Amino acid sequence: MNTHTPIKPGLDTEKIKADFPILAREVYGKPLTFLDTAASAQKPRAVIEAETELYEGYYANIHRGVYKFSQDATEAYEANRETVRAFLNAQKGKECIFVRGATEGINLVAQAWGRANVREGDEIILSHMEHHSNIVPWQMLAEEKGAKIRVIPMFDDGALDMEAYASLLNERTRMVAVAHISNSIGVKNPVKEITRLAHDVGALVLIDGCQAAPHMKIDVQDTDADFYAFSAHKAYGPTGIGVIYGKEKHLDAMPPWQGGGDMISTVTFEKTTYNDLPHKFEAGTPNIAGGIAMKVALDYITALGFENIAAHEEELLAYATKELSAFNSLRIIGTAPDKGALISFTMQHAHPHDIGTILDRQGIAVRAGHHCAQPVMDRFGVPGTVRASFGIYNDKSDVDRLIAGLKKVVDIFG
């Protein structure tokens, strides 16, 4: 299998860009400037080739066949579990459950754990900055069980009000579900402190790590969260696969969520017994190619070094913030000092969708809208924002193209 181009210490974005075939494309005759990694990252050639190699060379269903292809595919797929365990610093591989993505992982916990443990009058705490995927599953559970959703408010800079959070916690709190980093405004949350305070009242904690996993070293043992979710496609891997980590004691106590092949031990019409972890929560044929390619993606970014990634992206964010702040008509949403690698903003007289369309014609891909975080937009009194989000392949030249594109927006709208 081909590996990525060797990278010297620090991030050599020119070499990294060469590993991503799509970045050589032009859009409307302009070089592609991809600034939407928070939605879904582009894929290095090694990830693409890993899927192709499976389908061309040894594809078979896994965990079932005794023939060579099935054994080879099973071995390659399960190797990803150890990679994920190390990536999260989980104690055991069986604590890492493969799902279709973070959304399915959150729903799994809300249904399997929530239905067994949440009762009428109990409370679930969310933050004001959550993605819809970390709001709606808990609302559905609360409606079914007669529980109450309580919300941690934000300050004007986007940071969570931790004093208000502490005041929300009580003996009725069963679950606290928060983003590690906001997908809409980039603010990074103090998840270790959030977890400690929740555990003090006997509540569990689920962290949505989608925006953190590709950008910083994750340590679930240090954070002590009970559950941690992330998706491969935001971490330079394939779509359709992700992980929900859970502490072994919780996963053992939880009933299965879906029934079918691989999650069973024995089946009769009188009674079914369930498989051990992690397979108890992995019903049906999984995304085999996705699991194999996910390992390649995680190996790729791990080899770059998270200290290098974080330093590069922090420098890029600081540069973009400085350049954007020079526009009198531009308002940055989310100005807390501790942020991830994205910047969200509005401009006077121009709707975010119009800005996104003008930038697109310059070959610049940004996200425009509410970013599946409508409560955040309501909090700041805007219909949506333009979001420029950075990855390992971005550099200052990409920011310069964004600034040039925004000057065209000013020329058109004033």
Bridging pattern class, strands 123-127 and 385-389: unpaired
Residues 6+ apart with CB under 8 A from 62: 70, 73, 74, 77, 78, 285, 286, 288
Helix 396-413 to helix 306-325 angle (10° resolution) is: 20
Rounded-to-integer distance, Cα 223 and Cα 241, Å: 23
Rounded-to-integer distance, Cα 414 and Cα 406, Å: 11
C-alpha dihedral, 65 to 68 to 71 to 76, nearest 10°:
-140
For residue 52, count CB atoms less than 10 angstroms from its CB and return exposed for 0-12, middle for 13-18, buried for 19 or more: exposed
Task: Identify the three-state secondary structure at position 254.
Answer: coil
Identify whether 210 is a catalytic site residue.
Answer: no
Structure tokens at 238: 């394939």
Residue whose token pair is 């965990």: 63
In this structure, what DSSP letter does residue 350 have?
B
Contact criterion met (CB below 8 Å) for 176 and 196: no
Rounded-to-integer distance, Cα 112 and Cα 257, Å: 5
Rounded-to-integer distance, Cα 129 and Cα 151, Å: 9
Single out the catalytic residue among 23, 162, 166, 372.
372
Contact criterion met (CB below 8 Å) for 284 and 261: yes
Rounded-to-integer distance, Cα 347 and Cα 103, Å: 31
Neighbours of 53 (CB within 10 A): 18
Contact criterion met (CB below 8 Å) for 403 and 365: no
Q: Which residues are catalytic?
A: 372
